Amino acid sequence: MIDSLPFLHERDVAVLGNDGVQDVQPSGYGPDLTRPVHTASLVALGLWLIDNMELTELTELTAVCRGEPRWEFFFAALPWRMVGITSSASNPVTVF
């Protein structure tokens, strides 16, 4: 996965989502770099990561896109507001 980060950067990808985590465990980069995708994408690229997505909802979105036919839309995943945390559940919304 880390080898694909230049590809994502060249295309100005803003968000990367997955139904698990983006890093392979163990990473293969030694004990000092356990999550290289998180480190490189968040720090160096400013790429937002969404872990543990519920991807079954995307089938409905795919059907709407095919029916339009339109593949561009506004997507927002607003995190819950909590103090002292590094992650949160979100409320994703898509607007055509």
pLDDT of res. 53: 83
DSSP 12-50: T--EEE-SS-SS-SS-SS-TT-S-HHHIIIIIII--EEE
pLDDT of res. 1: 65
Decide if 74 contacts 95 (C-beta within 8 A). Answer: yes
Beta bridge partners of 49: 16
Decide if 64 contacts 96 (C-beta within 8 A). Answer: yes
Sketch the domain layout of the chain as residue ranges: 1-53, 55-96
One pLDDT digit (tens) per residue for the chain, 96 residues: 678 888 989 999 888 888 888 888 888 887 888 888 888 888 888 888 888 888 887 788 889 999 999 998 888 888 788 888 877 888 888 888
pLDDT of res. 80: 81
Instruction: State the Cα–Cα distance between residues 54 and 67, nearest whole angstrom.
Output: 22
